[in-house]
Structure 1
């Protein structure tokens, strides 16, 4: 059971207590009688829980980064905020879009429900839009036959593991971001799953090439050799989108990481 569903049940329970008391029970109590404890707590918590539910469902939702797949952009332990309406307003719990506001762009950092297990939330970068042909061959990215603008910069030190990765700056439209790859890691994609529309992808010793089906997105982590993403488990359908990640609001021990990011 996810947190949004728990909040929804709490809204129903506390709101129901408040409504029943307001319409029926309060009229039967003496004017100077104290409210029962369950009415007092239910009525007190209802507006708070309702506010949190609306905030998380339609405006912003907090997440914590659990893995290194988005290093160097996002580190393990980053607490981030996700814009829930950037790609349209969706009904909570069922995640059905009811108002279309915008669409994901290449280079966006997006939170989505993991297609293999929708109870889990994943975060990756949008690489391919519906209809795009994405090729990741010999660790170089090409979209619709055009190489993505890439520039190598100084190597990146993984301080916790004491090794270096090659570091690059990629540019897609207005989005500029850093990526990593490890020169000793193979270019091939081992162990790709049997996912929907897998026939749209071809694998070889140099990597993978995929055509993104309608209504789906191709996602990759910035830590390219340490990210299980669309190369392995396939495309993300539009109905799985949660929102656009845009701000680091906390990181224990490193306040310098607080702020917006691409």
Structure 2
């Protein structure tokens, strides 16, 4: 849907711009010439109403003239600066909740054209721990949001619901980094639930980021569904160059790189860095209002992200 909107926005801006330009550079001179001829024939300047009528744009050109600057401004802002994003699922709980509205920093990982998504200007790369929005590798019409846990060249191991990272060994680096478990401590249990099961909330440190995650202690690891990389054991991955390994903070309720592989650089949309609004949607089935109507506002969630 986001990709379709981008294409429609580009097309609408282009059409309005061409209509306005054609009127301004082709039709306006003809109207001005007609006005000059009318004044020459009358032998005196025409009154203001007549002059305005002769120079007036057509209805379509007039509308495009008014709308084009707005469309152009929205296109620039949304394509290159910030794009709004709504959290549709609980895969990033407890960091992000359903009903959170985010601003995604589009220029964080390169300035890209809004149609073909080719990088025009390099501006940076994801860091370990970044919350990123990207095109779902299996269907790029869909936007996903996850946390980057593996950078190009990293070795990632997820076993017994614990995350291990071995950073890439750079050329000439001795000794090479070792595989280490990402440290975490328990915060509480039962603050969040999945049905009747109390989830465990943990605090994890990855890269320069400290964040919370959820584990379902009753759910077995679905290793049979994990993405099997050639030459690696089940539950282990070596991140290829130009790609990233992303996981949801709700570890047992997230379809992420463990299941479908890696995120390519070209699929990165931007970095999520602020919640600008958060709505509750807790309407019961017996409500006369539709489910998309909010039941409350979570003002305490507005602000920057970890």
Shared fold (TM-score, shorter chain, > 0.5): yes
- Say whether residues 1:235 and 2:279 are aligned partners: no
After superposition, what is the alpha-carbon deviation per residue over 1:145-184, rounded to whole angstroms, capped at 9, x for unaligned? 1111211111242368464211111112320100111011
Query: 1:107, 1:125 within 8 Å by CA — same for their partners in 2?
Result: yes
Corresponding residue number in structure 2 for 1:224: 251
Q: State TM-score, norm by structure 1.
A: 0.93
Corresponding residue number in structure 1 for 2:17: 15
Tell me the CA shift for residue 202 of structure 1.
2.5
SS of the counterpart of 2:230? helix
Moved more, 166-175 or 215-224: 166-175
CA distance in structure 1 between the partners assigned to 2:190 and 2:100 by the alignment? 18
CA distance in structure 2 between the partners assigned to 1:156 and 1:220 by the alignment? 22
Moved more, 144-153 or 7-16: 144-153
Residues 159 and 199 from structure 1, CA distance in 2 versus in 1: closer, same or farther, beyond 3 angstroms?
closer
- Say whether residues 1:155 and 2:189 are aligned partners: yes
Query: How many residues are aligned here?
Result: 255
Structure that is richer in strand per residue: 1
Corresponding residue number in structure 1 for 2:52: 32
After superposition, what is the alpha-carbon deviation per residue over 1:108-165, rounded to whole angstroms, capped at 9, x for unaligned? 0000000000111100000000000000100001001111121111124236846421
5+ residue gaps, structure 1, are none
SS of the counterpart of 1:180? strand
Q: Within 5 Å, give how 1:129-208 maps onto structure 2.
A: 129-144=151-166, 145-158=179-192, 161=195, 163-192=197-226, 198-199=229-230, 201-203=232-234, 208=235
> Which of residues 94, 108, 111 in structure 1 aligns to 2:133?
111
After superposition, what is the alpha-carbon deviation per residue over 1:9-28, rounded to whole angstroms, capped at 9, x for unaligned? 01111001110000011223
Corresponding residue number in structure 1 for 2:95: 73
Query: 1:157, 1:163 within 8 Å by CA — same for their partners in 2?
Result: no
Query: 2:227, 2:257 within 8 Å by CA — same for their partners in 1?
Result: no
Corresponding residue number in structure 2 for 1:259: 303
Residues 156 and 85 from structure 1, CA distance in 2 versus in 1: closer, same or farther, beyond 3 angstroms?
farther
- Say whether residues 1:3 and 2:5 are aligned partners: yes
RMSD of equivalent CA atoms: 1.6
CA distance in structure 1 between the partners assigned to 2:153 and 2:136 by the alignment? 21
SS of the counterpart of 2:14? helix
